[in-house]
Structure 1
Amino acid sequence: MTDNIFLFEGIRMVSDFHSVESLSFAQNFLVKDDDVIIVSFPRSGTHWMIEMVSLIVSKGDPTWVQTVKNFVRCPGLESKDEQKLLLDQAGPRLMLTHLPIQLFPKSYFTSSAKVIYVIRNPRDVVISSYHIINDFNLLNNQESFDEYLHAFIQGDVVFGSWFDHTLGWLTRRDTENFLLMSYEELQRVILFYCVSYIAHICLCSFSLYFSRGKQSSE
């Protein structure tokens, strides 16, 4: 375990971003009924979801997304540098977390706050995680992919086991204030709507072209 890794209730965390105090703050954070919390294991499409939810909140106006950084719009619940931003937010608050369910704020479970849980194929998660960790030297330790894959399977990575994280959160899937979305599903749905929209625009353009052509010929 590298110098900037520490254990919190058996889960590996990074001291650059987390502390015992920030994690205790997250556990005891008072969740409000109108909060929207994006939850995922790291590298599962979190930032993509932030942009989509931000646009929904702003009713499609891109100004907020274009002018305000995503960590300000959607602070990290366990991030020691972003918790002040979270406290300063006016409701409804938008926030994100990678915490496993056992470290999640206790107040959520008696609230009506909405959780959007984003899941991704673990094969893609481990590849993406490996590259981001080594490209930015986040763990102050270069390791081979095989070494990282073994650690990932064993759950010896930041935020713990992908399998435990996913299974823990899936216990909430039948509750009204929990939305399960997969990264792969988002790709298919968005692609479908983009293609449909482009086709619609093209058909309108063709219709306009033909109507103009017909009028000019007359």
Structure 2
Amino acid sequence: MTATQHREESQSRRNGARRAELIALASRLFRERGYHGVGMRAIAEAADMQAASLYHHFRSKEELLLEAIFVVDRDMVVDQMPILDGPGSYRERLARLVRAHVMHIGVNRDAWWVAGRELRALSPEKLDTVQVYRRAYQHRIAQHLADGARAGEFRCDDPRLTTLAVLDMINGPNEWFDPAGRLSIDQIADHYAELVVRQLTP
């Protein structure tokens, strides 16, 4: 690698880290004040930067919103779907997916809140992009449940409906999880993984 390539790669990493920081900050502000209650100037001030610098990273507030939602409805999906293709029984892989899903909620609480409540603020085109990832996640889980049922590991007459029920359940901590609460997110994730697998075991 040449010196120029090394500098460009280092700069790209710094820009990526800065973008991630700004997305996390915007997610927190959207959660605290609502999407329509926060402007780009307020986000820039909270980030201790000029508004023009913020526009260098994001062309609009809607782009920031989309990237916040993508933390849940793209990045998590892309990271977690391969779990179902990994080693282990169908039950073990499903348990790992459920655990990772719940853990993601605990680590990304602001983004989850935004993804659950501010979708309607996206333009139809951007909303369609989000829905593609959501549908892919649902389809892959349903396929896993159907395959596991054929293998005799799950009791599942309607994989699509069961998938929606499972997702309703494991999305639940987004509404009530409190880091200062009685249980840690690790404990909750373990419990949910056990509950889901137990409910589907013949």
TM-score scaled by structure 1?
0.26
Larger Rg: 1
TM-score scaled by structure 2?
0.27
Higher strand share: 1
Q: Greater RCO between the two (CA within 8 Å, min separation 6)?
A: 1
